[in-house]
Every structure is written in C-alpha cells, then in structure tokens.
Amino acid sequence: MVFSLTISSRAFLIVAFVVASTQSVSVNADDVPLNQLIDRHIDATLAERKLSSAEPASDAEFMRRVYLDLNGTIPEPKTARAFIKDSDTEKRTKLIDQLLASENYETHMATFFDVMLMERRPDKYVTTPEWRTFLAESFGANKPLNTLVAEILGADGVDEKLRPAAKFYLDRAVAKDVLVRDIGRLFLGIDLQCAQCHDHPDIDDYLHQHYHGLSVFVAGSKTFKQPDGKFVLQEVVMREVEFASVFDPETTNKTGPRLLDALMEIPEVKEGEEYVEKPSRTVRSVLKFSLRKLLSEKLPSEETPEFARAMANRLWAMLMGRGIVHPLDMHHAANPPSHPELLDELASRLSSSKYDVKDFLRELALSATYQRSSLIPDGIDPETLPADSFAVANMKGLSPEQLFESLLVATQASAVLEQQIDEALSEEAAEAAAAKTVEKPDSEKPATEEPDAEKIAEARRVKRAARVTEFITVFGSVPGQPEGEFAASLPQALFLANSETVSSWVPAKPGNLTERLAALDDSGQIADELFLSVLTRLPGQDERTLVKEHLEAGKADRPKAVAALVWSLLASAEFRLNH
C-alpha cells in the first residue's frame, strides 16, 4: 500500500489510515491503471457490505452520460446511431478520448469550474466571458490543475494575460471573510465558517486558529483602482493576526499564516523596507514578500495534502454524482470518506500525474464503476443500495447550461434559434435607427456604417447568453451558493411546458426535429428518430406502439401530433436527469 500523503497529527488522517488498514485491498497500486484500481476498491466494499451492483450501462446510456459529463450536452442522433451500431470493442475508450479532445470539453469545463468557483455571483470587475475564456483555454491546454489554482490564488489583476484569474478575488470584492471561507471550502474541502469566532462547535477538527491562519494570507489584500479605472489587487504588510474566542474574549491568541496545522515561515523584512511600492492613494502598493504569492505556492502543492484530496473528490463527484467525502466541503473525522483508501489513491494519482485533469477524468470514465447502469438490479430494493456505495450509477440533474444545450440539440433548433436571435437584433437595429432619425435632421445623419462582422458576432453571443440566463434564473442555484442536489419546482415545470423559449423550438419549423419527423411516413422510423434525437436511445416495442397509436389518432395534423410527442420526451425525467 502506498501512502504518498504525509501522516500528520490531524485526526482525520489518522482515522482514514486506521479505517483503510482494516479494509485493505491487496493491490499494488503503482502498476494498475487507475480505472481498475477504482473498481477494485468499489467492488471490495460492495462485497464486504454484501451489496449487489447494477449491470453495465448500455452503449446508449453510457454515451448520453459521458457526453453530458465531458461535453455538457447530448449527442446528435446520427452520432448516437453510429456509436450504438459500431462493433469496435474499444469504442467506449475512443469516445472518451474524442470527447476530451473536443472544443465542447473546454467550454463545458469552463462552465463547470466557473459555477464551482464563482457560484453564479454577479460580475463585478472581471466579466464572465473573459473568465470563461481563460478557463476554457486552461482546460483546453490541459493546464495542470495546481497551476490553474496557483494562478487564481496568486493573481493581482495587473498582468493582462492572467487578469481573468483575479476574478476569484476581485469579484468577491477581496472581502477577507468571504475569501477565507471559500478558499477553505473550494480548495481544501473544509468549511471553516463556524471557526471564525471560536473552535468549531460540532467539528473537532476545525479550529479557530485554522480560520485565522488562513485569513493572514489575504488579510493584507485590498482592491486598488488604477488611473485607467481598472480595479486590481494591492497588498499591505501583514504578518500575523490576533484573535480571541467569543467564549474567552480575555485570552488573545496570535497566528502567522497557516494552512490548517502547517504554520508558514515568512522571511524577516526590516521595518520600512517591506515595500517595492509604498501604499499611497495614487500608487498600488506592492510588497517585496507577498503572502498571496506564498498562498499560491503552498496551497496547491504537495505540502498541503488536503488540496489534492479536495480536488480529486470534486472531480469524482462531477462524474459519479456524489463525493467520496460528501458534502464536498466537509472533510473531517466525523464525516469520513465512504472509501478512504480509494480517496487516498485518487489524490495521490492526481498529484503524481502533475494534476493532469484530462487523464484523471479519463480514468474515472473508463472505470466499470462509472459505466454502471442507473437501473437498479431486478428484485433489489433501492433503499438497500446507498448512494455512497456506487453500486448503481447515481443520477444527476442537468445543469441549466446542460439543459439549454441539450434541448437545442434534441429539438434540432439551432437554425431556429439563430433566426430568432437575428430577428431580435434587426428589430433592435430598426428601433435604434428610428430613434436616430427622430433626433437628427437628415443632413447630419452619418453615412450608413458597414456592419462589422465582429460586432455582429458579439451581439449574437450576447443574445444567446441571455437565453441561457433565462434557464439559469429558473434552474440555477441562488447566487453565492453552491449548486445543490437536483430539485424540481413548479416554475421549472411551467417553464418547460409553456415558455416562449422552449415552446418555440418544438413546433415544426424549417430544419427542426418536428418538421423532419412529420415528413416521414413510417411510424416505426419516426419513433426511432424521435427517441434517438431526444433520449439518445432506441425505443422499446411498447414505445413504438405508443407512437404508432398516437400518430394514428392525430393523423389530421401530423406535425402537431409529432410536436406533442417531442415535448413529452423533452419534459420527461429521463431527459431532465443525467442517468
């Protein structure tokens, strides 16, 4: 058994070690591909708990899942049909590689990490498109995850290339307590909020000094408004903070910068010589020794084993629908991992692979654990298969973005959407032109400007984003809070049933699914195309019969009858969930 983690005095690691030793799976971890290692650990625990597991997912089920997880959308029907027909035994592996190499992977990862790191806060100083582009480029280039996090934690917003990375700090207004909490939750898997005023009342591992030790890193940082109006970060001298428990206000404690129990040494700097640029109203203060820089070096590194564990756990949850430690920001002794040894392995592989995200996700997706069906084995009570056993694929709700993109693919309404966007834009242009005509006499009118292709593309992008925002408003979490578990609400059902956005894609329009299906004669063919397009699978015999009967009953107006079928599948739980 290999333990790359330093066994510190921290209680939870000791517990993890003890539990791991008793459940030891005899595996020589180094020689075995991670995907097999995952299955050995998961299966060993299933055997130990005497749980049966689901059958492997069908090609169709696997394909839909892996598309949504790695590319953020469902596949097109012809792609799905080809994959299902393909007899290549390596086709699943090839598909995973293809999806990881796709441009959709970059945008999907950018969205996923944006939502994870910014939690749908409104933009403040760095716009979401800039930030997403930065993230997409990072994931496209497969930038090591520790490097990405180091860039985020070390950002000052001055360097143009890395300016978007400063969004994490800047759009939280560099508010110390918000940052301490979010750095702990997101990068260490530890929610320290209750340790701000005292040791955590319920969690023995979370200490008052952990909170304040982490706060030292960012306590000296503030925003600075440059002469050009741009907000950046500046830093003033901070070496330690004083704190006292609300239960014992008389006793003052001190701590320097610390990452949990690891107290950082910082170089002595002579008083008066701390600054490269001294603080003033007009100049951004810059320290010779930056604590934010220190944080960016020490946190996403081997010296802070919690980082690799937290990241491995988050990526695992992204694909497996649940963390090995769950909730994701509650790593502590009283909330042990469901598979302690596996989590250690995942963390160690993630760090030994130089935080290669693609490789890590690839291995997860290759595992039989990931490729299990969400169908509960026949005759088994679902209650006996707990979510943390990974005996059955855990279902996930589609994110607002996944839902939007998948609806668009399913209804084949890209052309319809483009037309809607262009109509809206030309309406706006006409209105603006009319307003100009009123304002100025003819003689002063500027010559008609040549439409600028870049401007048009940008206007289209903005309009499309506004459509996605509608989905975020209805299906997304509250700004500033993590996405919760899947939950269904009345306004969501009303939105999918009746909103202009969704309902305008469903009826027969040039090139869309309903039009295409309504033009087909054979009801069996219609059923096949319908199910492949919307649910990424072929229909069962019962479903073919249902389609046939419905089309016969509605033969007076076939496009309408088809539209009802299309909608019923779009609004089904099977579409709404990643299963």
Partner 1 sequence: MKYDPACSSAVHQVSRRSMLGNMLAGAGGIGMLGQLVHPLVAKEIEAKKKQVLIFLLNGGLSQFESFDPKPNTDTGGPFRSIPTSVPGTHFSELMPYTAQIADKLAVVRSMFAEKVPGSHGGAREYVVTGRPPQQGPYPWIGPVYSKLLADNEDLPGNIHITPSRWGPRQDAAFLGPRHASLVLSGGKPPLNVDRPDLFNKELDDTRYKLRQIADLRFSQRRRTAYTEAYQSSYDQAAQLIRQKELFDVTKESEKDQLRYGSHDVGRHCLMARRLLQKGVTCVKVTHNNYDSHMENFNFHLEQLGEFDQPFATLMQDLDESGALDHTLVMLVTEFGRTPVIQPDNGRDHWQDSWSVILGGCGIQTGGVLGATNDNGTEISDRPVHVGEMFHTYMRAVGLDPTATHQVGGNKVPIGAPERAAVKELLI
Main-chain phi, psi angles of 225, to 5 degrees: -95, 115
> What DSSP designation does 397 have?
E
- Complex with partner 1: residue 86 or 574, whichever CB lies closer: 574
Examine residue 24 and tell whether it contacts partner 1 (CB under 8 A): no
Task: Write out the binding residues for partner 1, residues 129-168 only, by CB under 8 A.
Answer: none
- Complex with partner 1: residue 272 or 382, whichever CB lies closer: 382
Task: Kindly tell me which residue out of 155, 506, 527, 530 binds partner 1, with binding defined by CB under 8 A.
Answer: 506
Distance (Å, whole) CA 143 – CA 151: 11
Task: Kindly tell me which residue out of 160, 242, 271, 273 binds partner 1, with binding defined by CB under 8 A.
Answer: 242
Q: Which residues are bridge partners to 255 per DSSP? A: 241
Nearest to 51 by CA among 348, 389, 526, 354: 389
E strands, 122-281, are 221-225, 231-235, 241-243, 253-255, 258-259, 262-263, 275-277
Distance (Å, whole) CA 306 – CA 343: 11
For the CB of residue 175, give the shortest distance to partner 1 in the complex, in Å: 7
Examine residue 199 and tell whether it contacts partner 1 (CB under 8 A): no
Query: 363 exposed, middle or buried (CB, 10 Å; 0-12, 13-18, 19+)?
Result: buried
For the CB of residue 173, give the shortest distance to partner 1 in the complex, in Å: 12
For the CB of residue 339, give the shortest distance to partner 1 in the complex, in Å: 18
Q: Which residues are bridge partners to 275 per DSSP? A: 287
Task: Please list, residue by residue across 302-312, b when 16 or more beta carbons sit within 10 angstroms of its beta carbon and e when fewer do.
Answer: eebbbbbbbbb
Examine residue 488 and tell whether it contacts partner 1 (CB under 8 A): yes
Task: Kindly tell me which residue out of 116, 395, 468, 538 binds partner 1, with binding defined by CB under 8 A.
Answer: 395
Task: Kindly tell me which residue out of 50, 451, 542, 555 binds partner 1, with binding defined by CB under 8 A.
Answer: 542
Task: Kindly tell me which residue out of 178, 269, 333, 520 binds partner 1, with binding defined by CB under 8 A.
Answer: 178
For the CB of residue 178, give the shortest distance to partner 1 in the complex, in Å: 6
Is the alpha carbon torsion for 368, 369, 372, 377 positive or negative? positive
For the CB of residue 185, give the shortest distance to partner 1 in the complex, in Å: 12
> What DSSP designation does 537 have?
S
SS3 content of the chain, % helix, strand, coil (to 5): 55, 5, 40
- Complex with partner 1: residue 102 or 503, whichever CB lies closer: 503
Strands 258-259 and 253-255: unpaired
Examine residue 381 and tell whether it contacts partner 1 (CB under 8 A): no
Look up tokens 């440059």; give the residue. Answer: 226
Task: Kindly tell me which residue out of 489, 511, 519, 552 binds partner 1, with binding defined by CB under 8 A.
Answer: 489
User: What tokens does 433 get?
Assistant: 């032109």
Where does this chain touch partner 1 (CB under 8 A) — which range of 220-228, 240-248, 360-368, 405-413? 240-248
User: What tokens does 430 get?
Assistant: 């006409």
Q: Count of CB atoms within 10 A of residue 94's CB? A: 12
For the CB of residue 511, give the shortest distance to partner 1 in the complex, in Å: 17
Hey, what amino acid is at 109?
Answer: M
Where does this chain touch partner 1 (CB under 8 A) — which range of 25-33, 97-105, 336-344, 479-487? 479-487
Examine residue 565 and tell whether it contacts partner 1 (CB under 8 A): yes
Examine residue 487 and tell whether it contacts partner 1 (CB under 8 A): yes
Examine residue 569 and tell whether it contacts partner 1 (CB under 8 A): yes
Task: Kindly tell me which residue out of 122, 249, 446, 451 binds partner 1, with binding defined by CB under 8 A.
Answer: 249
Give me the DSSP letters along 469-499: HHHHHHHSPPTTS---S----HHHHHHHHH-
Cis, peptide link before residue 479, omega less than 30° from 0: no
- Count of residues that bind partner 1 according to CB under 8 A: 67
- CB within 8 Å of 370: residues ≥ 6 apart: 319, 320, 364, 393
- Complex with partner 1: residue 216 or 506, whichever CB lies closer: 506
- Complex with partner 1: residue 158 or 546, whichever CB lies closer: 546
Task: Kindly tell me which residue out of 23, 79, 102, 193 binds partner 1, with binding defined by CB under 8 A.
Answer: 193
Nearest to 200 by CA among 341, 446, 51, 12: 12
Where does this chain touch partner 1 (CB under 8 A) — which range of 99-107, 243-251, 259-267, 520-528? 243-251
What's the full length of the chain, in residues? 579
Examine residue 173 and tell whether it contacts partner 1 (CB under 8 A): no
Examine residue 246 and tell whether it contacts partner 1 (CB under 8 A): yes
- Complex with partner 1: residue 149 or 506, whichever CB lies closer: 506
Would you tell me which residues interact with partner 1 (CB under 8 A)?
175, 177-178, 181, 193-194, 196-198, 201-202, 242-244, 246, 249, 252, 374-376, 378, 382, 387, 392, 395, 397, 477-478, 481, 486-495, 497-500, 503-504, 506-507, 540, 542-543, 546, 550, 554, 560, 563-565, 567-569, 571-574, 576-577, 579
